[in-house]
Chains A and B, each alone.
Chain A
Amino acid sequence: MPPATIQELASRGTDLLAARDCTVLGPPRYDLVDPLFESQAYFRLLGPEPWSSVQVQRVLRPQLADLDSEHFPVASLRLSALFKEPDEPPQGLMLDLLRAMGFELEQRDVRFADQARRNAVLGLQGVGWRLLIDGVDSGWLSYFQRAASQVLEPVTLALSLDLERLALLQQRSLSLYDVDWAPGLSYGEARAAEEAELSKLFGGPAREDAEVEAHVDEVCRRAMELLDDGLILEAFVLAHEAVVGACRRGASLEEAAAAWQTRVGAVVDFCARRWLEERRRDGFPLSPDASRSGVIRRLGV
């Protein structure tokens, strides 16, 4: 099989996951700072409804803005999926996915390195693994145990694959910019100009703390107003904007999370609880009949 382009990897991975009962979600409304900071994905973690999903996302990594973009682009194209109550071993699923994407695994060194995944703003706690293909960090999979202040019932398996790196490994290209995005179109041709802007946007000297703080305060205030109006998903989008805005003002994602996790995290927590309340009120309509009563009893509804 010839090496896959980035778009082939995206479509092959999506096809396989769709065949394993994942709903193919529409694209996110915005570039994400975390594959799970996306309203279609995040709220599916919560509650018992067994929806599994797959989505091609663009994830921002503002902390890489000043590094060489041939290795560390700010925006990374990811294939991300969620599984409620997955029955098969998750690493087997990942291997199937890689095979479907065209990897001849018999010639590769595929490793799963233990990794805890935490995101203080989203209140996520997960245990899982980093995926290393031939020593290259290419994605991760994690069983999330908590989200916001909720213990997840059931736990959810999430996975995310770095499509650019997977393409680079298949195509044996030294520069990410030379990787084929589509036949006849390189990653550099498709994305270099945009990447340069993102580097400029997120790079450069740090701004004043007070300015960042004012931004976060203002966005969080607006988010709470939306929540009061019952617009849960919109409030969540604003919480994401608060973090992106903080990053744009010179703080890295980790710093932004550390400095404002309490305030933005509180908004996310409110959103999660409100969402769960509404689904409870509706009786978790997507739960299978056979398990709904048990699930509802366990959750104390």
Chain B
Amino acid sequence: MSELLLELRTGGLPPSSLAGLTLRLKNSLIRSLRESEVGPRQSSTSFTGRRVMILLRGLPDQERGSEVVLGPAVADGLDERGEATPELQAFLEAHGIGVEDLQTETREGEEFLVWYAPTGPGREETIAAAVAQGIAGLELPEPMRWGRDRGPWFRPIEGILALLDGETLPLEVLGVKATNTTVGHPVLSPKAVPVRSVEHYGQLLAEFGIEPRFADRRSALLERFETLARDEGGLPQGTGPLLDRLAAGCECPTGILGRFDSSFLTLPRELLVTALGELRQVIAVRNSEGELLPCFLAVIDRPDDPRGRIRFGFEWAVGGLLRGLRDLHDRDRLVPLAQRVGTDAAEEVTRRAARLGRLASSLAHDLGESSGVSPDIVSEAASLLDADRSTHIVRALPTLRGVYGGMLARSEGYPDSVWQAIYECGQVRGETLPESQPGRLVLLAEHLDTLVSLAELDELPSVPERAGVDRYGARALSRRVVRALSSDSLGLDLHRVVTRAIAARPELSGRAPELARSLCQLLDEGLLAVLGADGYSESTLRAILDSPAGGRQVSTVRHRVSVLHSLRTAPELEDLVKTATRLVDLLLESTEASIDVRMLTEEAEKDLFVLLSRLKPGLEEAMSVDDAKRWLGLMCELNDGVERFFSEVLIRDGIDSLRENRLALIQAVHRAYSTPLRLAALGA
């Protein structure tokens, strides 16, 4: 079988997209090759900041079909000197070929000149066309053009190495012609070198000092950083995503250590670490007590720093950054936070601050005194939440939003619970939530207020006009609201908090029902998503959420879901679900009515009424104390009575008043099958 080595060289790829781009390119190539019936059996990939490498093995090595075109006999086609006779010349001209394309075949004892005419494109051409299609056809975000009529592609392709079984593949894509050469480091080994095979390619990369595997680059860098930091009596601070980015974006990396003036260590730790990482892509160093040291670790994309010039450059860049940060931090501290959302702020900022304060306060009131959350505290924290947006530091480092505000609040002497709540809101990333109750309540107020704003602008994905399009991340916000309300200590009803959030915006009172509807729908979707992620099926969740007893206290819903989930394997449940579905069908067109006991004429319906009255308190109690088995036993007892009723009583017979009274009885029974969980939903 054949193997194809492909190397796409570009000027510099964004580190964060390299892994995804490589994978998508490989998939696109394989898909395209398979469509041309020359798909590989194995594939492997790697990437550096300047090249993507794909090795495809197990491609078919047979030429595609050909047919035999019979030429003249050898004796007629070649003269004594072995040169083509006029007869053979005519044959060659007719097919546009030369003598070198001919072979001989013996037929009935006589030797003929034959030409194996390909019936379609050859194997190489087929593979080349499929590879070109796989590269050019890759769907890319914001593709770019470059040079003279080149592109569009993700980034300019500077060169392609395409080697099929050691030979150059005749490939041209997006105006770039493939060769059998590669290059090394753009400065240290820029000369194109021919590649003979996959093994030779690996040797060349090693000679160039290029490490093609991301994981190996990362571990080598980490080891180097740990050694450098250890020599200073410390260790690298926070190497996670930053080290990933640094390792992805280079190809012959090593680490160096630089220093800065120790006076900069008076800057807040969070500020220093974040600025070094985000604005200079270097890693801070801390000692075993967690204190930062006046040095940093940087990645360089070459094997050494022969004259210390590189270290000088990094130190100058870091020193300048820290001086700038200190200036900005000093200036930011001159303006109190309250002023930033008050007299100094634009009208909308002031209004939002007041709104957040009111909303957080009303939510704290709803929690009650027993929660220990002070409405005044959360109101103050929520109203200051956006104050750091206008600071120079947050403008330069947006990821410090909240964290920086919390730090400023601490230095301005706000109570611990106030500054911590602001600080914790700034630390929220992805699934995480603030640890403290005030922090969660402030975050809740902020998210709810944002969701109301999106609802006001008809930008919620739950609004029909948006057709599920979520341009502003409303779904993620709704899931975080649900998670914030999941703790027992923050047991507020989802729909109730929506009402509170809308009430905090008196100017929206005219649209309140409509906004509440779309917000509640979005939060219900969020609830389904959060609980669904715990492994509950949608029908189980719907059985609880669609129950008229409903309620959206997240901890209660979660509890009910878990109870029902524990019953899902009980064989009796199936009968209950069938009955529930029948009840729903019967009541499809009925209107709400009350039971007249005197009109219950048949024994089975009288017995059902009595049974229902007897079992009802027990059912409610069983569910309220989580006694699922008892609830199931009582429901089975009720189910027997319902089945007898269905078998002995003709509901639609008799006079209208009797029929309506029986439907009223069924409605009452249906309530038991729908509250606190809607059994019919389990049949969906």
> Which chain A residues have a beta carbon within 8 Å of chain B's beta carbons?
66-68, 70-72, 85-87, 89-92, 95, 105-114, 127, 129, 133-137, 143, 145, 154-155, 157, 168-169, 172, 174
Contact = CB atoms under 8 A, between A and B. Distances in A.
Given A72-B320, A135-B317, A112 B312 contact: no
A106 B188 contact: yes
A129 B12 CA distance: 7
Give the size range of B's interface with the partner: 35 or more
A140 to B, nearest CB: 12
Contact of A90 (B148, B156, B314, B327): B156
A105 to B, nearest CB: 5
Contact of A108 (B11, B158, B309, B324): B309
B11 A129 contact: yes
Interface in B194-244: none
Interface string B283-323: 00000000000000010111001110111111011111001
Contact of A68 (B142, B147, B249, B323): B323
Given A129-B12, A135-B317, A143-B146, A95 B324 contact: no
A110 B301 CA distance: 8
B331 interface: yes
B259 interface: no
A114 B307 CA distance: 27
Interface in B523-572: none
A157 B280 CA distance: 26
Contacts of B13: 114
B149 interface: yes
Contacts of A95: 186-187
A71 B310 contact: no
B98 interface: no
B327 A67 contact: yes
Given A89-B156, A108-B309, A134-B309, A114 B320 contact: no
A123 B187 CA distance: 35
A155 B146 contact: yes
The dominant DSSP class at the A interface is mixed
User: What 7 pairs between A and B have smallest CB-CB spacing?
Assistant: A134-B313, A71-B320, A135-B314, A112-B12, A114-B14, A109-B300, A127-B144
B310 A135 contact: yes
Contacts of B155: 114, 127
Given A110-B187, A114-B155, A129-B12, A136 B316 contact: yes
A204 B452 CA distance: 37
B145 interface: yes
A87 B320 contact: no
The residue among A95, A111, A172 with the most chain B CB atoms within 10 A of its own CB is: A111
B183 to A, nearest CB: 10
A107 B158 CA distance: 24
Contacts of A133: 313
B21 to A, nearest CB: 12
Nearest to A168: B316
Given A90-B156, A109-B305, A114-B155, A135 B298 contact: yes
A109 B323 contact: no
A97 B28 CA distance: 37
Interface in B471-498: none
B49 to A, nearest CB: 8
B248 to A, nearest CB: 11
Interface of B: 11-15, 142, 144-149, 155-156, 158, 186-188, 249-250, 280, 282, 298, 300-302, 305-307, 309-314, 316-320, 323-324, 327-328, 331
Contacts of B145: 143, 145, 154-155
B148 A68 contact: no
A135 B249 contact: no
Given A68-B324, A134-B310, A169-B313, A89 B11 contact: yes
Contacts of B15: 114
- Most B CB atoms within 10 A — which of A70, A106, A135? A135
Given A90-B156, A135-B317, A113 B327 contact: no
Contacts of B318: 135
A85 B298 contact: no
Contacts of B250: 111
Nearest to B187: A105
Contact of A107 (B142, B186, B306, B319): B306
B457 to A, nearest CB: 19
A145 B155 CA distance: 12
A127 B142 contact: yes
Contacts of A92: 186
B11 A91 contact: yes
B282 to A, nearest CB: 8
A91 to B, nearest CB: 5
B12 A113 contact: yes
12 contacts: A67-B323, A71-B320, A71-B324, A90-B146, A106-B187, A106-B188, A107-B309, A133-B313, A134-B311, A143-B156, A155-B146, A168-B316
A133 B312 CA distance: 11
Contacts of A67: 323-324, 327-328
Given A107-B307, A169-B316, 14 more contacts: A68-B320, A89-B156, A89-B158, A90-B146, A91-B186, A109-B300, A109-B305, A109-B310, A135-B280, A135-B318, A143-B146, A154-B148, A155-B144, A155-B145
B309 A66 contact: no
Contacts of A136: 313-314, 316-317
B310 A108 contact: yes
A137 B156 contact: no
Contacts of A108: 187, 309-310, 313
Contact of A174 (B156, B306, B316): B316
A154 to B, nearest CB: 7
Contacts of A127: 142, 144, 155
Chain A CB within 10 A, most for which of B155, B282, B310:
B310
Contacts of A168: 316
B313 A135 contact: yes
Contact of B324 (A72, A87, A111, A135): A72
Nearest to A209: B346
Contacts of B309: 107-108, 134, 169, 172
A174 B318 CA distance: 12
A179 to B, nearest CB: 11
Of A70, A90, A129, A155, which is in contact with the most chain B CB atoms at under 10 Å from its CB?
Answer: A155
A70 B282 CA distance: 22
A110 B187 CA distance: 8
Contacts of B327: 66-68
A205 B239 CA distance: 39
A145 to B, nearest CB: 6
Contact of A113 (B249, B282, B316, B328): B249
Contacts of B306: 107
Which interface residue of A87, A108, A134 has the most chain B CB atoms within 10 A?
A134
A35 B108 CA distance: 81
Nearest to A99: B187
Nearest to A254: B395
A105 B301 CA distance: 12
Contacts of B316: 136, 168-169, 174
Contacts of A129: 11-12
A154 B150 CA distance: 10
Contacts of B317: 135-137
A13 to B, nearest CB: 18
A89 B307 CA distance: 29
B549 to A, nearest CB: 50
A137 B314 CA distance: 10
Nearest to A105: B187
B99 to A, nearest CB: 40
Nearest to A255: B395
Contacts of A169: 309, 312-313, 316
A215 B468 CA distance: 43
A100 to B, nearest CB: 14
Nearest to A114: B14
Given A71-B324, A107-B306, A108-B309, A87 B147 contact: yes
Contacts of A70: 320
